[in-house]
């Protein structure tokens, strides 16, 4: 253990161990966990139910970090985007989306992203670094505190910056921290993990005790096109991802969501829709169509509502549940694929693949 552990990074048992060597009892760990993760208080002096001696000892000897709000913008539609600064000065974005119909927090798992999807601004940044578990969980409590929701239930979508399965251990640890009854007690049923489909990580996810809902960013129906749009497809092609989905252990009535970003004249034809129906055969699936949120530097356009509707109708006619994602917060650049902060370093495609294979 480092001489100055960051207590915000610890699960309850780890916190118990860290306190045990500093004169604390297990119940102190539960009290501190509640302060940090349930009440959003990270100033030891405000943890009034800890003895003065313990507080004094800890003040010398531990840190409790929390993301700092350095930007806070509200969209006309109620969506709110926070820019959060981490302890090393890096910045990430986290988004609150009200009434979807639930209240939803859209959380980042990395600073930047290594996947380099051709239509995503975060992908253009390259990967700066993974977030720690404490930083991933920290976004949730900072958003919950900022929106007055520390005591209400909300959904979490891991659809902010980054690829959650590329930062597997920290993402799963964050979900355990959020699930703790001494913290925000977030049920995994309220969490959706969205991924480009890193097959070995999907297999691992299927064995997790705390398993979130799964969303796969499919976006194309042929390997040629998907590799052009979502480069990790070269290593994990459609058939491998869909096989992993077929084997994925789903609870009774749950289904895998397939996200499909719609690019005008590229992947939005009736043939694409029919191929998608064939690909999803035998999978308990629902499809979420995401008309592109265009941005400068993104070489695609958003299709017309008519094209989107025609595509959706082909799926619906084949009894596939389909929804069209309403784009929220576009005026404040909080919509899907629009999260980007300065400081990114663009990597070459080869470097990106090297990162992926690690
Ligand atoms: N890396 C994960 C999660 C982050 S992105 C993943 O790829 O699933 C969340 C969703 O937003 C993904 O489906 C992604 O493909 C989509 N997205 C990215 N850029 C977009 C854009 N410009 N317009 C619409 N959706 C976009």
Q: Is 93 a catalytic residue?
A: yes
CA distances from 251 to 163, 176, 188, 248 (A): 24, 19, 12, 10
Place of tokens 């390259």: 126
Sign (positive or negative) of CA dihedral 39, 41, 44, 47: negative
Q: Is 117 a catalytic residue?
A: no
All structural domains of the chain with their residue ranges: 7-61, 68-357
Which residues lie across from 321 on neighbouring strands? Answer: 286
Which residues lie across from 94 on neighbouring strands? Answer: 82
* Helices 168-179 and 133-146: angle between axes, nearest 10 degrees: 40
Tell me, what DSSP letter sits at residue 303? Answer: P
Q: What is the pLDDT along the chain (358 residues), one digit of tens a residue?
A: 456 899 999 999 999 999 999 999 999 999 999 999 999 999 999 999 999 999 999 999 999 999 999 999 999 989 999 999 999 999 999 999 998 788 999 999 999 999 999 999 999 999 999 999 999 999 999 999 999 999 999 999 999 999 999 999 999 999 999 999 999 999 999 999 999 999 999 999 999 999 999 999 999 999 999 999 999 999 999 999 999 999 999 987 799 999 999 999 999 999 999 999 999 999 999 999 999 998 888 999 999 999 999 999 999 999 999 999 887 787 777 777 777 665 434 444 444 444 443 3
Report the atom number in ligand 1 closest to the C-alpha of 194. Answer: 8
Pocket mutation for ligand 1, best pick of 191, 290, 302 (most atoms within 8 Å of C-beta): 290
Residues 6+ apart with CB under 8 A from 249: 206, 211
Output Rg (C-alpha) for the chain, integer angstroms.
21
Of 16, 93, 163, 259, which residue is the catalytic one? 93
- Residue 215 structure tokens: 């969303």
Place of tokens 């509640």: 34
Please tell me the CATH superfamily of domain 68-357, with its number.
Aldolase class I (3.20.20.70)
The whole model's pTM is what? 0.93
Q: What are phi and psi of 60, to 5 degrees?
A: -70, -30
Residues 6+ apart with CB under 8 A from 317: none
Determine how β-strand 110-112 pairs with β-strand 104-106.
unpaired
Pocket mutation for ligand 1, best pick of 159, 241, 291, 327 (most atoms within 8 Å of C-beta): 159
- State whether CATH 1.10.150.530 applies to domain 7-61: yes
């Amino acid at each position: 253990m480092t001489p100055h552990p960051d207590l915000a990074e610890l699960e309850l048992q780890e916190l118990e161990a860290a306190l045990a060597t500093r004169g604390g009892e297990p119940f102190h760990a539960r009290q501190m966990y509640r302060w940090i993760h349930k009440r959003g208080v990270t100033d030891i002096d405000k943890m009034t139910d800890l003895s003065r001696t313990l507080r004094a000892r800890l003040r010398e000897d531990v840190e409790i970090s929390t993301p700092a709000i350095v930007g806070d913008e509200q969209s006309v539609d109620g969506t709110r985007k926070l820019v959060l600064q981490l302890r090393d000065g890096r910045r990430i974005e986290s988004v609150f989306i009200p009434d979807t119909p639930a209240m939803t927090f859209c959380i980042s798992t990395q600073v930047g992203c290594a996947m380099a999807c051709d239509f995503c601004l975060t992908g253009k940044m390259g990967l700066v670094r993974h977030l720690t578990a404490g930083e991933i969980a920290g976004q949730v409590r900072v958003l919950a505190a900022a929106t007055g929701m520390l005591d209400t239930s909300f959904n979490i979508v891991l659809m902010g910056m980054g690829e959650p399965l590329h930062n597997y251990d920290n993402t799963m640890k964050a979900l355990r921290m959020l699930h703790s009854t001494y913290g925000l007690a977030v049920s995994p049923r309220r969490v959706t993990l969205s991924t480009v489909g890193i097959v070995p990580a999907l297999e691992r996810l299927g064995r997790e005790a705390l398993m979130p809902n799964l969303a796969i960013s499919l976006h194309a129906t042929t390997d040629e096109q998907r590799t052009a749009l979502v480069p990790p497809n070269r290593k994990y092609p459609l058939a491998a991802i869909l096989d992993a989905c077929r084997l994925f252990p789903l609870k009774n009535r749950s289904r895998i969501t397939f996200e499909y970003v719609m690019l005008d004249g590229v992947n939005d034809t009736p043939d694409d829709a029919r191929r998608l129906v064939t690909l999803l055969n035998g999978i308990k699936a629902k499809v979420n169509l995401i008309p592109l949120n265009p941005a400068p530097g993104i070489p695609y356009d958003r299709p017309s509502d008519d094209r989107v509707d025609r595509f959706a109708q082909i799926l619906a006619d084949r009894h596939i549940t389909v929804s069209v994602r309403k784009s929220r917060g576009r005026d404040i650049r909080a919509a899907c694929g629009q999260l980007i902060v300065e400081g990114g370093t663009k990597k070459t495609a080869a470097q990106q693949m090297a990162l992926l294979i690690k």
